[in-house]
Structure formats: structure tokens, C-alpha cells
Amino acid sequence: MPGFELFSDLERKEVHDVLDNGVLMRYGFDGMRNGHWKAKELEAELATTLKTNHVQLVSSGTAAVSIALASAGVGAGDEVIMPSFTFVASFEAIMMLGAIPVLVDIDDTLALDPKAVEAAITPRTKAVMVVQMCGSMGHMDALQEICRKHNLLFIEDACQAIGGTYNGKPLGSIADLGCFSFDFVKTITCGEGGAVITNNPDYYRNADHFSDHGHDHIGNDRGAESHPFLGYNFRVSELHAAVGLAQVKRLPEFIEIQKKHYTILRNALSRIPGVTFRTVPKGGEESYAFLNFFLPDLESARKVNAAFKENGIDACFHYYDNNWHYVRKWDHLKNMKSLYPISTEVKKGLEYLETKTFEQSDHYIARNLSCLIKLSWTEEEVKQRAEKMVECVQKALS
């Protein structure tokens, strides 16, 4: 991660196909496109890669989450359980539908704690959304069982985990619906883009129509198509899809590189007493997009993070102190700072955030550092980096 590091002639060729015939739209223009259907081809390629029946390509990962929820009928006033540690897109996507994000603790997988999920279920709960943060996953069997028992929709945000698996199944393909992002920094990039995947034909049809103004996509005359329900424009362009099409074919190569770099760094750090690693559930295989490790306490994590910055170790994050990924700094959500009025129902639904504490999440996130694994490093660079990281950690812990 990120895939842009290794752009090659493969991406250039796919983009040129689109520029050569001038059709940037993914639907229609049949006579002009010279047989090029990049979005459709990317959907087919993703269906094979992710071992799923249906893929709907959309404009972003954030859109994918909104569309996944909407496709299964989640909307106004419904509660959606989500983790305290994720990207802000999770609650944005829920609130766009007038639904209520219910934040709960994570465990040492850095994903939803099944016990916290079960404790948060109310008669208004409609869905549980696990976010497979930093290339790994939550306890999928336990979470799936809770959803079955309580008849809840199960959604998997695998935006940061493409290429990871659980019991041999691709992450994103395990829940009722899976969401992916192909934004500029993801392992597979389109520039901007995302996907909803599912084995449910009804959810898929809904996602297909909803992401294109409600068009039913029957026949090949867009003007004559009907609109079974209201939609919006969450389409991806052919240019974006072209980049992704070249990239996704290279996923096995990217994962292999990530794993190699990750392993060198992890082996080096694991020699240090006091350093531990996140739990990967039994049967799980990470995508190796990030290496996450724990230090003994908040103070040592802050020290190591500062030492990394001083010593040029870039792309490592202490999420406890950053604005994007952890509930601690989500003041705009807690204070309900919205451009447009939020419904009384959602306001009431969010009141719990004024007082709720996340001690168990703090326990993990305060001590966690998360290092992005780059694709473009040479083996020599990774080894030097490993040495420097070990020095920084040892010094901070001494």
C-alpha cells in the first residue's frame, strides 16, 4: 500500500484505451467505445478476485458504505453499530442516510469487540459494521453469529484490507455486504473509487440502480430506462476504472511485496521485550498493508512516535493523537457540527457520545503504533528501516 507507487505501462495502456475512444462514461455510448468497458471489466475481475457473485463499482469507499446500507434498507432512525477506531467515513456514511452511528469498543484485533457489540444491541439496531482496519480483521465467526442470532445485517468495511483472508475467504466477502475503497492511498487505487460486493442479488440490484440515479439499466437506451426508486450519482468514470483494472490484476504481486517487507520489520521488532502485536484471529491472514504493534503504555508510545519522526521513519501513525481515526478526537461528531440540520431523532440518538467512555479502546489505541508498508521500498531500505526502528524503540523503553 499504496498501489500508485508501482504504476507501470499496464495502467498507462488501460487509460489510453479510454482516451483513444473518448468515452468516459461507464454506461451507454455502445457504438463509440471500441469494445472498451473498463468499469464492467473491473467489476468482473473483482468478482473473481474476491470470490463473490456481484460487484458494484462506485465513486468512493465512503459512498460504498452508504450504498451498502441503503441497498439493504437501512435508513432514517436505524442504529448501526460501528467501532470506535476506524476512518471518519464510517459515521459519515451512516449519517448521510439519517441513520444513527452507535460506537462501541474494539478489542486486541483492533476491530469490533463482539462482547461490546452484543451489549449495544437495542430494538432499533439494524446493522453491525465491522471495519477491517490496517489490513487485518475482527473475530468474524463471533460477529457473524451475533448478527444471525439477533437478525441483524452484517456489513464489512474492507477498505484497508483487500488481499487479506479469513478461513480462506477474501476479507469483504464474508458479511452480507462488503465495501472497498480504491482511493489514492489504498493498496489498489483508481485515484478515487470504491466497490460494494455481495452474494445477494436483491442488494446488488439495489446498489446498481441507487448508484446511478435509480436507473434500472434495462435495455440500451438510457433515455427510455425507468426509475423504480430514487437514486443518486455515485458512478465511477471509465478513466478511474481503467487504472483500477490494471492494478487489481497485480494484487497478488502487491500482497507478496507487502508480506515480505512486513515480515522483516516485524521480526526485528519482535526481539524487543515490551513490544507486542495485534491479535490476528485464528484462520486469518493479513493483507500486510500495515504493521501494528503495541508498546507498554501511552507514554512510551508517544516517545517512540516522536523518535520515529526525528529519525525519518515516515508513514507511522499513533492514532490516539490523530484526528482521523479514533473517537477521542472526533469533536465534530460529538458536537453534531452539521452543515444542514440533523433530525431530532438522530440528535437524540447521538446524545450518548457526551458521556460514553471507551476505556478498552483507549487501552489498545493509546499504546498502538501503525506503520504503513510501502511497495516501493528496496529490501536494503526495509532492513535499514528495521534497524532504525529497533534503535528508536529500545532507546524509548530504556
Q: Is 84 in the site for ligand PLP (CB under 6 A)?
A: no
| Interaction pattern, residues 15-54, with ligand PLP; x per rule: CB under 6 A | ----------------------------------------
Comparison of 237 and 268: residue with beta carbon closer to ligand PLP: 237
The residue from 84, 86, 144, 173 that contacts ligand PLP (CB under 6 A) is 86
Using CB under 6 A as the criterion, what x/- string covers residues 138-157 for binding ligand PLP? -------------------x
Query: Of 38, 186, 260, 374, which is the active-site residue?
Result: 186
In degrees rounded to 5, what are phi and psi of residue 315?
60, 30
> What is the rounded distance in angstroms from the CA atom of residue 378 to the CA atom of residue 359?
40
Assess 181 for contact with ligand PLP (CB under 6 A).
yes
As measured in angstroms, the least distance from the Cβ of 140 to ligand PLP is: 16
Stretch near ligand PLP under the rule CB under 6 A, chosen from 58-66, 97-105, 201-209, 368-376: 58-66
**383 an active-site residue?**
no
Nearer to ligand PLP, 62 or 211 (CB): 62
Contact call for residue 183 and ligand PLP (CB under 6 A): yes
Closest CB 62 distance from ligand PLP, rounded Å: 3
Query: To the nearest whole angstrom, how small is the minimum distance from the Cβ of residue 182 to ligand PLP?
Result: 7
The residue with its CB nearest to ligand PLP is 61
Residue 210 near residue 232, CB atoms below 8 Å: yes
Looking at 1, 131, 245, 369, which residue binds ligand PLP (CB under 6 A)?
131
For ligand PLP, what does the binding mask look like between residues 185 and 224, x meaning CB under 6 A?
---------x------------------------------
Does 89 interact with ligand PLP (rule: CB under 6 A)?
yes
> Cβ neighbours of residue 60 under 8 Å, at least 6 residues apart?
181, 183, 192, 193, 194, 234
* Residues forming the site for ligand PLP (CB under 6 A): 60-62, 86-87, 89, 131, 157, 159-160, 181, 183, 194
Active site residues: 186
